[in-house]
A = this chain, B = another copy of it.
Amino acid sequence: MTTTHLASTPRQSGARAVYELLRERIITGTLAPGERLTEPVLAATLGVSRTPVREALRLLQAEALVVELPTGGVRVAPLDVADARRVYDVRARLEGLLARDACERAARADVARLARLVDLMDVVRDHDEEVLRVGGQFHREIEALADNAWCSALLRQIRGHVDRYRALAARERVGTTDHVDEHRAVADAIAAGDPDEAERVMRAHIDRSAALAERALTPPPAPPPT
């Protein structure tokens, strides 16, 4: 971590707490898409004054988790399934860039650590829960290696929205085998010191996740005859 001047301060003010809480609730769907958020109600509910609530709403607004109403005030950002693809498209590019950067900075020990994570993922490949957990760890590891604060900051925003869609697709069916293989491909590219390949493979990986998410998000059309 050399160039860190964003996201440097973990201070917990009341406003920050409100922000975190609302963010969580929006992402998990506790606060429904399109729901109007009124400051007095939120303030009363959370036991603070309107001021910290407003601060939190501004932060959320900048993240597009809430949208401004023409008349003032905000509501929880609507969830348009058609937009999911766009969100994943952006995520694919950002994570691809991270994979490239990680590749260019990874030391031998880092490569080994990534390999271990993939192996572990392979071991637990039958337990979706674990696959998801270890997989997430893999992505975070790459993010840490990349040490690209800019990309990370943007990715954090995008991830919030990705997680919204995930929460919507109740149980995301992970193509476990492919998932592990794709991660291994990324790890291999990094091990081989091939940044172009690392970026390409990571991007392809996210693209495939996007396709799965897209399917999970559009079950209505026609339940295929078993």
- Point out residues on A near B: beta carbons under 8 Å: 3, 5-6, 8-9, 11, 13, 54-55, 58-59, 61-64, 67-70, 72, 77-78, 80, 82-83, 86-87, 89-90, 93-94, 96-97, 101, 148-151, 153-154, 157-158, 161
Contacts and interface: CB of A to CB of B under 8 A. Distances in A.
What is the predominant secondary structure among interface residues of chain A facing chain B? helix
A147 B75 CA distance: 23
A81 to B, nearest CB: 11
A3 B54 contact: no
Contact of A59 (B8, B62, B70): B62
Copies of the chain in the assembly = 2
Contacts of A3: 80, 82-83, 86
B8 A77 contact: no
Contact of A86 (B72, B86, B148): B148
A15 to B, nearest CB: 8
A153 B93 contact: no
Nearest to A93: B93
Nearest to A87: B150
Nearest to A69: B9
A77 to B, nearest CB: 7
A61 B13 CA distance: 15
